[in-house]
Every structure is written in structure tokens, then in C-alpha cells.
Structure 1
Amino acid sequence: MKDARICLVTLAVDDLERSASFYQALGWTRTSAGNDTVIFMQGERMVLSLFGRKDLAADVGTSMEGSAAPYPNVALAINMSTEKDVDRLFDQAVAAGGAAVKRPEPTFWGGYSGYFSDPDSHLWELAHNPFFRLTRRGHIDLLKTPA
């Protein structure tokens, strides 16, 4: 089980400084690690890596040209303790330069959820799921969530 975790998420971005400022406004801490092609942002239990889009393509050995998809194939999610917390962080994200994709609202599954995209169109969901147990530090603990 020790390998069943996410330690770092890398996002391809168009403007490193703009993206770093956006994530700092959402509470991530910019670290001294990195260089002129990548910035590392420390979160509570993981690291977000902001990598220049062309530099990441070169590092991977591929081209990112020609992608017409408005969002990546993955939506990153942050679960919150309350609906009020979802609304607060959603408003904070939009005020920091994110785009409102879907304002938070009650869901068909009994929770509360909304979506925003960051300045590079990475899709984020903010959700309150009353069926998920959050630890004192705000992490989902699915191992102790009742079935």
C-alpha cells in the first residue's frame, strides 16, 4: 500500500509565473526547488509541478501541438468539509484568475460540487461529499468511510 499515493502532479502551463501566482493565491507554497522551466508548489501532502508546456513536451519527447481538447482527460478534485467551504474556494479560484466552468450546486448523488479551470484550462472539481470521511487535516480517508 505504501506506493498507492500521488506525490506530485505535473501541469503543462503557458506562463510559469502566472500559474505560480494563481496557485499561491489558492494556498500552495512556492518552493526554492526548480529552475526557469519548472516551478514546484508544496501542498499539504503532495507537490504540484508547473512545467512550461513546450519544455514538458521536449522532456517527454513528444509534441503538444494539435490538441483541440478544452481540458485534459483528468479532472483534479479537492473535497471540502462543507458546502460553504466549496463556495469559498470556488470564489477564491475565480478571483485569482480561474474560469468558472460550473458554479457549485447540489448534485444528483447527494453532495455539492462545482468546477473551475485554472489559467491553462486544467479542470478542477470542488466537492462536498457527505459520504466521504475527511481527516482532521482535510484528506479523504476511504479506508474508514462507511460502505
Structure 2
Amino acid sequence: MEQRISFVSLAVRDVARSREFYVDGLGWTDEMYVPGEVLMIRVGEHVVLSLWDRAHFEAEVGPIADGSNGSNGSNGSNRSGGVPPVTLAHNVATPAEVDEVLGTARGIGADPVHDGQQRDWGGYTGYFADPDGYHWEVAHNPGPLGELVLP
């Protein structure tokens, strides 16, 4: 098996709301949209973000056992008091770009948005949550690993 990821699939409460956030809000382009079922967005040369209606996701994959009933508070966390056990990352070339992306997310209603800050490991990162509470790290990662993930 080759060492790569082709799809990142997430179960969401409302596919239309996710489309409004990612496509209309962030300005991304959808590759496939089936209202009420799935939204697929190419996020890399060979990587697709696949956002599935929770019921359709469970029908294909099996019951969701994350301790959440699918209801999030306004802070992007589920009722169990935490965040979904996954983060997604969007790396950029400079700390200023981190702040710019976080500003865009804040402008379209992302909640929460954690401002960018210098990290002990040398990078500069911040976070925002999408409508289902999935947290996106926006990062400037200096050095060879950071360069590896930039276009």
C-alpha cells in the first residue's frame, strides 16, 4: 500500500450549511455536491475533503461513537465538553497569512477562532472551528517539513 491519504471524510449535521461555510464563505470550489447527502472538495493535488450527512455516513461506515449526539454549542464543541477528536491543518508560507486566514474565518462566523501565536516548536499557528466543530489549524511551519506541504 502506498503511503498517502486520498480522502478525509467527516460526518456533518447539515451538508448545506457546510457548503455555505466552505464554498460560499471560504471561497473553495466543490467537486461534487449532492444536497442532503455529501459535499466533496478537492483540497490538494490528490486529496479530497468529503463532508457527509451524519445519517448517510453512519449507513456506510457504521455508528458514530464519539460521545456526541451531533449537537454543538456555540463554541464549536460537542455536548460532552470537548472537540471532535480530529484536527485538519492548512499550512501557509508566512505568519501574516495565518492571521489573514483566521480573519476570513472569523468574518464568516467561524466559532471559535483562536488567534495565531508563536509556538514553542518554532511555528506560528491559530485555529478556527467549522459549523460542526471540526477544528482547522492554520499554520506557518518554518523549515523542511513546512516546505513539504506547501504548493
TM-score, structure 1 as length reference: 0.80
Segments of 5+ residues of structure 1 without an aligned counterpart are 140-147
Which shows bigger deviation, 24-33 or 114-123?
24-33
Task: Specify whether residues 88 and 122 from structure 1 end up closer, same or farther in structure 2 by C-alpha distance, changes over 3 A only.
Answer: same
**Cα distance change on mapping 1:32 and 1:108 into 2, 3 Å:** closer
- Of 99-108 and 75-84, deviating more is 99-108
Instruction: Note the C-alpha offset of 1:28.
Output: 2.4
Task: Name 1:49's counterpart in structure 2.
Answer: 50
CA contact (8 A) 1:78 1:126 kept: yes
Deviations 1:61-114 (A, max 9, x none): 214584225322221111110001101111111222311342111111221111
For residue 127 of structure 1, report the CA deviation from its aligned partner.
0.9
CA RMSD of aligned residues (A): 2.3
2:16–2:36: 8 Å Cα contact kept in structure 1? no
- Paired residue type of 1:134: E
Deviation at 1:44, TM superposition (A): 3.1
Counterpart-to-counterpart distance in 2, 1:35 and 1:17:
7
Percent identity, aligned pairs only, is 39
Query: Number of paired residues?
Result: 137
Q: Secondary structure at the match of 1:5?
A: coil
TM-score by length of structure 2 reads 0.78
Q: Once the 2 structures are TM-superposed, how far is the Cα of residue 138 of structure 1 from its aligned partner?
A: 2.2
Q: Secondary structure at the match of 1:87?
A: helix
Alpha-carbon spacing, 1:91–1:58, altered in 2? closer, same or farther (3 Å): same
How far residue 124 of structure 1 moved from its aligned partner, in angstroms, is 1.1
Amino acid paired to 2:95: E
Mapped pair 1:116 → 2:117: no
* Structure 2 CA distance for aligned equivalents of residues 76 and 124 of structure 1: 5
Q: Is residue 91 of structure 1 aligned with residue 119 of structure 2?
A: no
